[in-house]
Amino acid sequence: MMKPSTERDYRRRIARVVEAILVEPGARHTLDSLAAVAHMSPYHFHRIYRALMGESVVDTVKRLRLAEAAHRLTDAAQVTAVAHDAGYDSPQAFARAFRDFAGVSPSEFRTRQRHLVANPAASAALARTRRTAHARIAQHGEGDRTGVDGCRDEYAENQSTPALPSVEVIEIAPLDVLCLRHDGPVVTIGQTFHTLMTTLRCDENPVLQQRVGICAPDPSMAGGLRYHAGVVAGSPAAFSDAMRRLDDAAQRSRVAGPPPGIEPLRLEGGLYAVHRLVGPYALISPTFRALYSGWLPRSGYRRDQRPGLELYRSAPDRGALHPCITDLLIPIRED
């Protein structure tokens, strides 16, 4: 087991590597060239990268290229052009890789993104007539199904009904979370969640299991967003216990180095448009783009200044290429 200070150093190096890949996903990245970015030998880099990222750097390059392809397909680019720019020799090879990545073919994904924004007015009208029937996402104790999981259970049942739209409007209550600011590329967000949950010892507390990504507008940040990884404190007792764990971490800092900057935060409630994404986390960004640029302008709602939310429904150790379930919430208000 490596020292915390050593692990932090390795994660910073890996973040630099991922940033280099993101600058040019389609470039010819090799193990030697990326190891040089991390200032490691190729052998050592390969071993450390796989240990911390859960995949090889070759898998990361492939995943980032396919994630960029998903962005372009969301913008209705032609499959043949996207396949070529992603480095594939033929559309057929690209289609096989994309299906393994997203669970659907490129053309099916493009159709799904169009369907997502096809009839936002119907989503809004249905939501207005049914809003009182939606359970609220609320802070809850053990066994209380009116909280985060209770609301989403009802939504999951609605999503199985073909007549309903793929976007619904719900009203949520305020959420108390413990969060850690993420610095670095989006693809390393999982590392920030790992640090947060390890520090809070979430594996020992079943109440501290609901992960939430918090995306707030910030023009000073790259990409215009500030991101925090968070866990929902489902009850006052859970919140107090988590704060005690932070105090314990501060006491241990004399040996292990300073604890991460975990802080409490209250997320204001209100109206949110919610879409359930089934697919790899790399599809979150293009799906948010479709919601904000396609669904929202035609929905009859306006964007609110509260942060957007990502509610992670799959286990934290789910592999990067395995189907994951994530509820995407964009803050909205009525005129």
Give the pLDDT confidence of 39-58 residue by residue, as tens digits: 999 999 999 999 988 889 99
| Topology (CATH level 3) of domain 4-112 | Arc Repressor Mutant, subunit A (1.10.10)
Residue 155 pLDDT greater than 70, yes or no: no
Q: What rounded mean pLDDT belongs to the chain?
A: 80
Q: What is the distance between the terminal CA atoms of the chain, rounded to a whole angstrom?
A: 55
Which residue has tokens 């890996």? 14
Model's pTM, two decimal places? 0.79
Residue pLDDT, tens place only, 226-258 = 999 999 987 777 777 777 777 776 666 554 555
Asked if 117-174+268-334 and 175-266 have one fold, the answer is: no
180: enclosing H helix or E strand: strand 175-181
CATH 3.20.80 fits 117-174+268-334, yes or no: yes
Largest pairwise CA distance in the chain: 61
Q: How far is CA 190 from CA 40, 64, 197, in A?
A: 22, 15, 11
Q: How far apart are CA 271 and CA 296, in angstroms?
A: 13
Q: What is the band of 153 on the pLDDT scale with cuts at 50, 70, 90?
A: very low
**Mean pLDDT, to the nearest integer, of 245-274?**
75
Closest residue by Cα to residue 262 from 305, 202, 320: 202
- Which pLDDT belongs to residue 156? 46
**Mean pLDDT, to the nearest integer, of 140-152?**
43
- Please state the domain extents for the chain: 4-112, 117-174+268-334, 175-266
Lowest mean pLDDT among 6-15, 60-69, 321-330: 321-330
Lowest mean pLDDT among 13-17, 19-23, 124-128, 191-195: 124-128
- Which pLDDT belongs to residue 142? 39
Tell me which amino acid residue 216 is: A
The burial class, CB within 10 Å (0-12 / 13-18 / 19+), for 118 is middle
Lowest mean pLDDT among 22-36, 156-170, 215-229, 292-306: 156-170
CATH number of 175-266: 3.30.70
